[in-house]
Each structure stands twice: as structure tokens, then as C-alpha cells.
A and B are shown apart, each in its own frame.
Chain A
Amino acid sequence: MDYPTRFDVLVIGGGHAGTEAALAAARMGCKTLLLTHNVETLGQMSCNPAIGGIGKSHLVREVDALGGAMARATDRGGIQFRVLNARKGPAVRATRAQADRVLYKAAIRHILENQPNLQIFQQAVDDLIVQGDQVKGVVTQSGIRFYATSVVLTAGTFLGGLIHIGLQNHAGGRAGDPPSIALAQRLRELPLRVGRLKTGTPPRIDARSIDFSGMEAQPSDDPIPVMSFLGQPEEHPEQVSCYITHTNERTHEIIRNNLDRSPMYSGVIEGIGPRYCPSIEDKIHRFADKNSHQVFLEPEGLTTHEIYPNGISTSLPFDVQLDLVRSIRGMEQAHITRPGYAIEYDYFNPQDLQPTLETKVIHNLFFAGQINGTTGYEEAAAQGLLAGLNAGLRAQEKEGWCPRRDEAYIGVLVDDLITLGTSEPYRMFTSRAEYRLLLREDNADLRLTEKGRELGLVDDQRWAAFEAKREGIEREMARLKDTFVHPGTASAETLNDKLSQPLSREQTLLDLLRRPELEYWDLAHLAPGELPNDPQVQEQVQIQTKYAGYIERQAQDIERVRRQEETLLPANLDYSRVDGLSNEIRNKLSGIRPATLAQASRIPGVTPAAISMLLIHLKKRDLVAKQA
């Protein structure tokens, strides 16, 4: 049947990408439908029960700054919070939370069910309705046809999913869920480049069978951090500790003796796994000289005894899994509740996408999450939000939007994917961001919330909080800038204790704050007037002032490439007609079809000379157009 209501945006999949996509479109006022094969698994954390971490929390905070759900759900479901790199400077600081699966899922479900303009429907999607080069809707398993202006596909690992345990394998989307075979076959018929990737999980363990007494406990930080800009520590449920143990020589021997029974080493798995998240058999094979590896025991929740032993992801047969787990200190009596497995799945070459995450060949069809070759909840959520908002913009007949590399990690993520493609599951790291000092966890709202408000993603509550914070920062900066400290005064004396060279001429407090020896708290009380009571304001004044020199330098770099960022390359540009390009560069450009001159310049092998040629070619086309 044809479903009687027509939607603006259809979202297929209810994982981290799908939920953020549906929420974003609905927040913008688009009539949105979220299609999932199982309402009970909306917001499911299918891998380890943790959110955030280096580079990833940056994405979560950006999603939050644009009104997304992930950070708020983490604050409500998080049972252990830590700030990583706390001593390494604010740009590389990252919040990481262990989340109770049940509480997290409930928080997401609550946000979804209370979102105006959003409806949820449970049914697997089998087909896309494509007319010409445009998507029109989807067909579900039982033949219901839903029509919409734009469709966002977030099928995760479900497309052609194949689960491996030892040398046995079976079709599956993740443990316990069926794969999407019909949809995968349908998508393989479209002119999109498909590849196979692989990822894995460790066996889960019953905490009651673990002896934690000899292990190092890792509790939450004090004070307890929050993930969302609107978050409060009071929202957090009860906090619990993680534990650290290690593999040993015996563990390694067990694995070495059974490598021939690993689907990875016997050639059964063809997909490529991530280098930064290797299986335990991979670690032992590749780093043979290391005789111990860390295992991080993460509690799955407050109402379950299940433990996620991070660090021993494996696809070895179950009998070997049991042996290797029991060889680890404290786990001698361990009971495995679910075996570990590796999963292979289809992904689409993200070089076939535009910066808005719309496919280049099928209009109004957007891809987000693991099907684009990424891994991680945070990477998925970030893409989901971007795809959802662009699907919404399309439905509203507005221009698409994607942040630049200097504006957000979301921009880095998307630009890396569409420019470079990926040969392994792509994960965010701070070293991928050349503007790392600008793209901090602490200023994601200052970078993005205003844009989010303009796009209709940010509600009044968040906007009011943001405006108050922004004004607070301006006021506090002005207060410090207007206060001079003169040598010889009492104020100067208090500061001289901390300075390597005593104050020799009058200076403003803001200038003094730029000195590495001084912190905000050393001088904030020396200025007349009220201190700001928002700790986020105080933090921003401190960080922005400390980084000022580097921020100026990066701002100059950004300015230098701005014109290239703003120079659009026509989608139909015939690269064979651009004079002076080598065939190699022509092929690269026609294969990737960069959206801007700047993106073209980031393609490996594209030389500055080639960029000059492109610029001249564009200008020539302009002239021709004007003369005609």
C-alpha cells in the first residue's frame, strides 16, 4: 500500500546516526519519519558502552552545540566520567563516559518520543523508490510504500552483514539482529562504489565471576564532568568504577597456538579492520615483543552484571576465547555471557558523497554513519546530524550546509571522507585536525550554536544559555582589558610573586593573562566589578587568552585558503578540457569531483600548479559566459 501521509524526510535506521538525523530534521520543522526494524533497539550501543574520548568527545560536543541528543543522553545515562589529557592543555582535553546501556537507550527513546514533527515506525526497509536520478521514498518488508522529499540511509553494519566466530560464519546485522540482505542487494545495483569492512567485539563477561581485588580501579573524576553544554552533574545516575587488568605470556601462547583457527589469519575474512582497534590476535601477531596488553573492564550498566572487557576483541572460536579470558588475572573463573565475534559489512565509498552527505548520483538520498566507512557512535552521530539537517534543508528548498575544516571536527570528518575516501573504518583523532587549537571541546558551542540557531536546530532554552555565556565572556574580557596594573602597587606585588620577571610597566590584566606564569584566578579578583558566576565563562577567558598567539596564526592560515574554500567547482566540470593537467591528476579529479578548489588542493598528488590551471580554467569559462 501507499502510506497516506507524505513526509519531508525519511530516515532509515535507528542507531546513533539515524536518531540524530531524524531529530535534526524534525527540529528544523520538517515532517520526519524514522524507520527502524526494531523500536526496542533505538539508540542501542552495539559495541563498548562508552561515549566520548579523544577526538570523539569533540564530535559529541559539536553535535550538542547543534542541538543534538547524544551528549544529553550521555549525561543521563553515564555511570563513570573522566577527562582525558587533563594535564595536556585544553585543545586536546576530552571527556569520556561509560554509559549504562539501558539508561542511555531510555534517554534517547525519551528524546525521540517527545520530539515534535517526528514519527517512528517499526518495519525493515527492503527497497528504495528511485525515479530517474532521484529518490522518492522507500518500500518496507511488507510492501508499505512511504514517500518523502529526502531519504537518509543509516544502515550501519546491517548491509550484507556477516558474523564470524572462529571459522564458522552466519548472516547478521549485529549479534542477535538480522542483516538487511534485500536492501543491500538493491543498493549494490546503484552506481555507487561498494567495499567491505570488518570490525570486532570481545566476549562479554559476568562480573560475578571476576575477582576485582587485584585490579586497579578507575573511578569517575572529582568533580564529575558533564558531556553537554547544558548538562549538570546532578543528572548523572550512580557512578561506578572501571577496572584495569592485563594479558600475559600464557594468554599470548594460547592465541599463538590457535591462529590457524582465526578467520582473519586463515583468509575467511576479506574486509579490512581498523589499525587502531586491532583484535587481540592481531596485537599479539604484530607486536610479538610485547608480553602484556592492557584490558579495560567496562561495566555495561547499573542493572546488569555484564562486563565489556575492552582490549580483547576476537573472532577466535569459542573454546579459545574461554581459554584466553581465563588466563587473565582476576578472570580465572570467568563466565562468558556472549562470545566475541567479528562482523563484515558493506560500506559505500564516501568519495561518492557531497559535503552535505548527499550521494552524487542519486539526488535527495543522504548517507550517514558506518555505511560511509566510519566507526564509532560519535562519528555516526555527527554524520547523522549533518545528513538530517541537509535532508531537511533540501525539503525546505534551501542551500545545503557543511562546516569547514577550521570550524568543526564534523567538517574534518566529512572532508576527509569525501576527499580521501577510507580503506579502514575511519575514526576521529585530534591529529587529523590541522586547526586543533581552534577546534576544542570547550568552545564547540561558540563555534557552532549560532549557525545551529540559524538553521533551526537550536531551541530557545539552549539559545538563551548560549547568549548568556557569550555575553558573559565579552563582559569579562572587557573587564580584564580595562583594568591596568601599575608597577609598585599592591596588585603588582601580588602578581610579582608568580612572575619570573617583576612587572616593569603598566599592563592590562588581559595582557598579563597571556603570560604563561599567570592563571585566570591569579588576577580575576584584581579588577573592579563582579566576577562572572558561570565557570564556563571563566574557563573561556582563560583559554582564549592563553591561546591567542596561536589562534591568530591559525586564523591567518584560514584566511589564506578562504578564497579557495569559496571557489566552487561545478559538478559537471569536464576535467579533460582543463589545459595542462596530467592524466593522473585528471583521473583523480574526475573520480572525486571535489566541491571546492580547496578540497581539490587536499587530494593527494594534486599540485599547486594544477590548482592554478583549474583557477585559470574557471576564469576562462566565466569570460566565455560573459561574452556569449
Chain B
Amino acid sequence: MTVAAGFGYVLISLGPALSLFVSVIAKKPFLILTLLASMLFWLISLIVLSGAWRGFLPLKSASWWPYVILIVTSVGFQEATRLIFWKLYKKLEVILDAFAEEKFRSRLSWTDKMQIALAGGLGHGVAHAVFFCVSLLTPSFGPATFFVDRCSHMPFFLVSAIISLGFMIIHTFSMVIAFNAYAEGRKLDQIIIPIIHILAAVMTLINLAPGGCAIGVPLLYIIGGVVLRHCWQMVWRKLTEQGNRQRNSSDIHVS
């Protein structure tokens, strides 16, 4: 049971990411590199954050307001790093486009760009799951499990695996939405993404209350669902409008 449970937790938190990786990313070397770069980027942002908070941790007091500050600063910082990531990618995209033009006589298609955004988002999501959940799962492979007082219905590892899965979804697809919003200059989406991120983070604050995880986790998944739906809508809209345009232009292209 023990090893099985450990693998189960790992698969809960990383399983969907794994299937995304196998089905979309693994065949395209450039996406693998994007994924690795994005994981590294996220890790660096986390290390900077932890360095900044090093002096105040561990928090001794039982009050919740230090946690609020921690969450707000962290999310703010991470949204800033998302912007930096976008700026860097923008520079890279110019080079990529030139390269594609020279080599394949075609520029990056919008699906290519979206896949790059997906790989970048998946990198953030996987890094999140790995550092917040999987790296703490080592004890769960042993003969015991662990419960926290405030969430005593389920083992601690199960709760954190479920939460990190929710964040994996949010990180992955909000990156797709954000990149698209930056590229098209859609102000609304650009603002929505940080708001969703901070809302999701605030939902985990509910876990501080006794028994709060029974409310916080479902709310987190509702946010995840909203992100997924929004992303799907956006992709669908692009699919239809670009599909029409492509059909018109492809005749010219071929000739």
C-alpha cells in the first residue's frame, strides 16, 4: 500500500501534466526546451521570493495576516516574472520567425505560438507541482502517513496532491491565455490572469481554518474550471476565425 500510495499521489499531482507532455510536448524538441526553460524560470522566481522571506520565516504566530502578506507578495512577484518571461519570449520569437522564414519559408503559425505558450505554462505548472507537492512526498512512500489538524479527513499528502493538480491546471492554461492576451493586446485578459491567480491563492488561505479544505479545494477547482473554459473559448474563437482566413489564403499560398 505504501509505495502504491506514494505513486498514486505523484500521479494525481503530475498525471495530467504527464499526458500533456507525452501527447503534445515530447515530439517537438523546441517545446521540451521551452518547458525546461520555463521550469527554471519559475524556480528562480521562487528562490528569489524565498530569499526575500528568509528573514521572517518560520512564522511563529498563529495569526493569519502574515500569510496573507506572503501570498499577496508572492503572487505579485510571480505575475511580474510572467511579464518578464513574455518579454524574453517576444525577443526570441523574432529570432524564431526569422529562422523559420529562412529555413522553411513560413513564419510561426498561430498554433505554433500557442503550443509554445502551452509549454511555457506547463513548465510553470509542473515546477509548481514538483516543488510544492512532489518534493515533500518522500515520506509517503514509507509505512506511515501524515494528517494535519486543520484538514483531518484526508492524509496531508492527498490534499496537497489535489491542490497542486488544481494549480497545475490554472498555471498551464492561464499562461496560454496571458500570452495570447499580450500578443493581441487584449487588456481585459491581461488583468483577469493576475486576478485569477490571486483568487486561487486566496482560496488556499481558507485551508488555515479548521476543516477549511473541504471548502477551499472545491472553490479552487471551480477557478480551474473557469480558466479552462476561458482558454477553450479563446482557442475556439481563433480556430474558427483563422480557419476561415486560412482557407481563403491557402490557395494563394499554394500557387
B is bound to A: no
